[in-house]
């Protein structure tokens, strides 16, 4: 077979594959969209061989997300030697439950039925209203069969929209350590307005990692005991140590709760629903005593932006966070170590632990907050260039505060990139660090503009929403993650494409 003949039978998997979200009931609205990635399923080239006019349609009942797969084409390549058309259904059987391959008539019959008595699995956790309607967040455990069934139906969306994303093994013995948060739109039923119909909008999964907190060091030589039968160099050992009850509830152990998969599907993007879902999850674990830290698995740029903005807006509601200031009373020396008391480190740690935010994330957000408080004449800006800022007269105290802020930032960046910087000569090290600082300043300024826009939107209404969307589009940071981040804070990293409102691939960012 020649290359030209091969190309004639090859089609883009992204273009051939269409996902449909169909509302139940008569004349239900259908939303159609293409996957963003298909390489985890169809290979790195994202191409399918062996068909002409290929159409792959994965239709979902928008309520219970029951799927149905249909494959249509005008011609199929006749096998020649080792060359044969890809068995599409066989490939997709690894990503879809068996119900997706049942007859179309069965799926359509189920779709036509009223879903007025159906509710998402789990328990209702939060509900809110937006201009797009009313939405609800439902929380459940993967140990719940109903939650497990729904996850099996929608997991193919993970590789489709989360770069590097992988499905959960729903049959793991520790399934109860997975918590799932479903986001649904609640709409009046088309057949009975007094009842509700649920439309799937997105979901997130959270996994609990248990970790040991070391107790205080025991005394060197324990007191003697009649029950002691063994002696070591450090003293006697009590062999009748109480191991606790077998009925101990492991869910009460200290843990880190890690946001794993996070997805808002395309028909519901650009509506700030990702922020609403993230805020709901964060507040849930903020009030969850066993959770000591809320972490995120390999966030992409779009998720990072959303997380930064939400974390900063939440922390700004805390008087203890607002009280953290740069100590301008300390002296700046031309050489030597960076002063340790630029901020009250003990007070900052206390706020961080109470907020359950990881160290890297917290101090990045704190740096944003402190930068927002710098004098306008020295504060790095997103829209103001050096000449415009230079026209504003700065005081000695403002210049000193900015210098201290930069020292605080450089110290953290240096520690985070110590291995990479250690391979450079001193002059190159200083130059590279300064370059990264400028990139971080730009990124912080960009994020602060978004924070201010969102806060103004709450006060000013629709006009601010329009301005916010314009800013997001012009800055290459739209809700679906398209575009590139213009600054990077990683010493050895470069700009990377963003992804949809989801995450999986690590981005190059310090902090």
DSSP state of 218: P
pLDDT tens-digit map of 32-91: 999 999 999 999 999 999 999 999 999 999 999 999 999 999 999 999 888 999 999 999
pLDDT tens-digit map of 281-302: 999 999 999 999 999 999 989 9
pLDDT at 69: 98
CA dihedral 223, 227, 229, 234 (to 10 degrees): -20
Return the structure tokens found at 82: 């080792």
502 pLDDT above the threshold of 50 = no
DSSP H helix total and E strand total for the chain? 17, 16
Per-residue pLDDT band at 430 (split at 50, 70, 90): confident
3-state secondary structure (DSSP) of residue 17: strand
Q: Mean pLDDT across the chain, nearest whole number?
A: 83
Task: Give, in order, the Cα–Cα distances in Å from 13 to each of 36, 49, 71.
Answer: 10, 9, 12
Return the structure tokens found at 174: 């520790």
Report the 10 Å Cβ neighbour count for 302.
25
Four-residue CA torsion sign, 259, 127, 273, 36 = positive
* Placement of tokens 């160099």 in the chain: 233
3-state secondary structure (DSSP) of residue 139: strand
> Whole-prediction pTM value?
0.82
Q: CA-to-CA distance for 364 and 510, rounded, in angstroms?
A: 8
Exposed/middle/buried for residue 137 (C-beta within 10 Å: 0-12, 13-18, 19+): buried
* Placement of tokens 């077998």 in the chain: 246
Are 368 and 442 a contacting pair, CB within 8 Å? no
Q: What residues pair up with 200 in beta bridges, in sequence order?
A: 184
Q: CA-to-CA distance for 372 and 369, rounded, in angstroms?
A: 5
Q: CA-to-CA distance for 429 and 446, rounded, in angstroms?
A: 26
Alpha helices for 262-381 (secondary structure H) = 273-286, 301-315, 319-322, 345-355, 359-372
Walk me through the domains of the chain, giving residue ranges and CATH numbers: 3-112 (3.90.360.10), 123-211+254-295 (3.40.630.30), 308-474 (no CATH)
DSSP state of 231: E
308 pLDDT above the threshold of 90 = yes
Angle formed by the axes of helices 462-474 and 426-460, to 10°? Answer: 160
pLDDT at 235: 52
Task: Give, in order, the Cα–Cα distances in Å from 52 to each of 32, 35, 85, 107, 309.
Answer: 21, 20, 11, 26, 46
Question: Which residues contact residue 39 at a Cβ distance below 8 angstroms, ignoring those fewer than 6 apart?
Answer: 45, 46
Task: Give, in order, the Cα–Cα distances in Å from 348 to each of 65, 105, 323, 490.
Answer: 45, 61, 9, 24
Task: Give, in order, the Cα–Cα distances in Å from 448 to each of 308, 400, 445.
Answer: 10, 22, 5
pLDDT at 27: 74
Nearest CA among 377, 390, 439, 382 for reference residue 413: 439
Catalytic residues: 297
Per-residue pLDDT band at 12 (split at 50, 70, 90): very high
Q: CA-to-CA distance for 416 and 264, rounded, in angstroms?
A: 32
**Known binding site: residues?**
262-264, 269-275, 300
pLDDT tens-digit map of 461-497: 444 444 444 443 333 322 333 333 333 454 443 322 2
Task: Give, in order, the Cα–Cα distances in Å from 134 to each of 57, 186, 193, 197, 398.
Answer: 29, 6, 14, 11, 47
* Placement of tokens 């020292």 in the chain: 407
pLDDT at 465: 42
| E strands, 142-224, in order | 178-188, 196-210
Rounded to a whole number of angstroms, the CA Rg of the chain reads 27
pLDDT at 414: 83
How many alpha carbons fall within 13 Å on the CB side of residue 46?
A: 14
pLDDT tens-digit map of 379-403: 988 655 555 555 668 899 999 999 9
- Residue count of the chain, please give it: 511
Least confident window among 32-36, 188-192, 348-352, 504-508? 504-508
pLDDT at 333: 81
Q: CA-to-CA distance for 506 and 484, rounded, in angstroms?
A: 14
**What whole-number percentage of the chain has pLDDT above 90?**
59
Q: CA-to-CA distance for 269 and 215, rounded, in angstroms?
A: 46
**Known binding site for acetyl-CoA: residues?**
262-264, 269-275, 300
Q: What angle do CA 486, 491, 494 make, to 5 degrees?
A: 40
């Amino acid at each position: 077979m020649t290359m030209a003949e091969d190309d004639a039978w090859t089609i883009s998997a992204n273009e051939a594959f269409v996902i449909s979200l169909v509302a139940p009931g008569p004349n239900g609205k259908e939303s159609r969209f293409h996957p963003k990635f298909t390489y985890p399923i169809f290979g790195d080239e994202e191409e399918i061989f062996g068909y002409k006019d290929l159409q792959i349609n994965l239709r979902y009942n928008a309520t219970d997300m029951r799927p149905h797969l249909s494959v249509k084409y005008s011609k199929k390549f006749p096998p020649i030697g080792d060359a044969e058309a890809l068995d599409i259904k066989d490939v997709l059987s690894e990503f879809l439950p068996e119900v997706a391959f049942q007859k179309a008539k069965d799926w359509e019959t189920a779709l036509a039925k009223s879903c007025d008595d159906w509710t998402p699995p789990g328990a209702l956790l939060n509900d809110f209203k937006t201009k797009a309607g009313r939405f609800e967040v439902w929380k459940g455990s993967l140990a719940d069969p109903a939650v497990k069934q729904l996850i099996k139906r929608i997991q193919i969306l993970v590789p489709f929209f989360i770069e590097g994303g992988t499905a959960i093994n729903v049959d793991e013995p520790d399934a109860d350590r997975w918590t799932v948060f479903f986001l649904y739109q609640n709409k009046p039923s088309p057949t009975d307005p007094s009842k509700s119909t649920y439309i799937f909008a997105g979901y997130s999964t959270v996994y609990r990692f248990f970790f040991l907190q070391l107790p205080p060091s025991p005394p060197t030589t324990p007191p003697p005991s009649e029950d002691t039968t063994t002696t070591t160099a450090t003293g006697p050992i009590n062999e009748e140590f109480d191991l606790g009850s077998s009925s101990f509830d492991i869910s009460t152990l200290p843990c880190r709760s890690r946001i794993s998969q996070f997805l808002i599907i395309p028909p519901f993007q650009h509506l700030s629903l990702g922020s609403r879902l993230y805020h709901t999850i964060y507040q849930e674990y903020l009030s969850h005593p066993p959770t000591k830290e809320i972490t995120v698995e390999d966030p992409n740029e779009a998720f990072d932006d959303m997380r930064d903005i939400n974390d900063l807006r939440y922390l700004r509601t805390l008087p203890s966070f607002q009280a953290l200031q740069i100590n301008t009373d300390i002296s700046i020396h031309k050489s030597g170590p960076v002063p340790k008391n630029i901020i009250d480190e003990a007070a900052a740690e206390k706020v961080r632990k109470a907020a359950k935010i990881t160290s890297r994330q917290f101090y990045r957000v704190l740096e944003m907050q402190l930068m927002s408080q710098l004098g306008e004449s020295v504060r790095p800006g997103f829209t103001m260039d050096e000449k415009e800022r230079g026209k504003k007269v700065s005081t000695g105290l403002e210049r000193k505060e900015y210098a201290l802020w930069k020292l605080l930032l450089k110290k953290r960046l240096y520690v985070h990139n110590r291995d990479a910087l250690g391979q450079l000569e001193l002059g190159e090290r200083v130059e590279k660090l300064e370059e990264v600082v400028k990139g971080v300043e730009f990124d912080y300024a960009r994020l602060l503009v978004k924070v201010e826009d969102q806060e103004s939107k709450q006060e000013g209404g629709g006009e601010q929403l329009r301005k916010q969307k314009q800013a997001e589009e012009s800055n290459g940071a739209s809700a679906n993650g398209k575009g590139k981040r213009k600054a990077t804070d990683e010493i050895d990293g470069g700009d990377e494409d963003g992804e949809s409102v989801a995450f999986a691939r690590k981005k190059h960012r310090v902090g």
